[in-house]
Structure 1
């Protein structure tokens, strides 16, 4: 039998294996909590659903819920899409203009999201645009996303992430995303989100012609 050593590879250490297993278990727990929360929100409404009910449905304690999601709002508004998008931006070829790179990154990032997860995203977006407490939290998250986007753009261009040009570009991208998400919800997802984003980014890339 060929061993990893003979192939020139070092087998993972026991500590790495334990850490990887722990991270996978944490990811499963986080996903289960969010899925059960969304199911309960769909069945009985956001306001009527308590953290205790979510924890019971996910078979965890309320304290465990709060280790993964600091508030009930976070179980709707938190996701892993920012790192996915930023990774896609950084993967674009060097020399590609910033808006072109961001537009391509949106296409590739959202293409990797499976249909069931997109359905969940549509439901979370609907909640975020209709529940007042969630709308406020969503605005906070958008500012965090704008800062992260500015950081990625600045790193690619060798610019200051707090510079006015970089901040204006990041703000413009987030600005076109708001009506895109609103339109997606209004159409109940009948128009794919990646298509809506690509159309809006195309207008922005062309200088917003009317």
Structure 2
């Protein structure tokens, strides 16, 4: 599939009158076509089924470079399959995209794809740790969003607990950053963790909660008994 064919397929899913509202909601200055997310899901699912891994990576790269809102989300969705072999090129592409993040919707879709690549090879956590030192807020935030799978295990292995504690260490260093998106990401990580590991969540909040923004502290603990 060529890029022109992919863009033509995307444009068939445009809903009249939707683009302006989406652009305002997502605070986009880039082009927004006005495509609902379910339509993007269906379209990219078909592409994943019909394209080789190599072709998916190539098309994802090309879609990203158009800088169209839905094209960037579609690029991420092309790489969101858990069983993606080989996946080194996909992981490299995801890393290349992170410095371009400038809005939560695009960042979160890419991080969902990145979560699959990180779970496939947890040693990649070393790369993600480097993001925590970035001057780019969205890169720092991505370090928490991409590691969310480690909040969800009911029976984590010792190596999973090590990653869980490692990321909690990053979150602890983030609490003095009062950027709303950083505080929200810390709260998100802790809230999800509290469903499966309330003890660690309580320990974190006891150690750091007084330095968090009030809304983030409340959200982080709202599922604790």
Give the greater-gyration-radius structure (CA): 1
Structure number with greater CO (CA < 8 Å, separation at least 6) is 1
Question: TM-score, normalised on structure 1?
Answer: 0.29
Question: TM-score, normalised on structure 2?
Answer: 0.28
